Amino acid sequence: MAILAPTLSNKFQKALEGLSETRAAFQGLTDSLAEDKIQDWKRQEKQALRQRGDALKIYEVQQEKGL
């Protein structure tokens, strides 16, 4: 049990570092988008959280396959 505290502390520190990196990437993406696109995504998010089920597919990553 005594080993658990340092392990959790290390994991917490790594999570904070990851959060900082994610926040910077999110802000860069947000800054590069038109306000109407951001508002549309927020509307879709609210709808997905209310409806669940298939509405949550908005969170799936969509990529085009390379040739």
pLDDT digits (tens, 9 = 90+) for 27-59: 998 999 999 999 998 999 899 888 888 888 888
CB distance 43 to 29 below 8 Å: no
Q: Which of 6-10, 37-41, 61-65 has the lowest mean pLDDT?
A: 61-65
CB distance 41 to 29 below 8 Å: no
The whole model's pTM is what? 0.53
Task: At 63, list the tokens.
Answer: 């990529």
Residue 65 has pLDDT above 90, yes or no: no
Q: How many CA atoms within 13 Å lie on the side-chain side of 41?
A: 9
Work out the pLDDT band at 23, boundaries 50, 70, 90.
very high
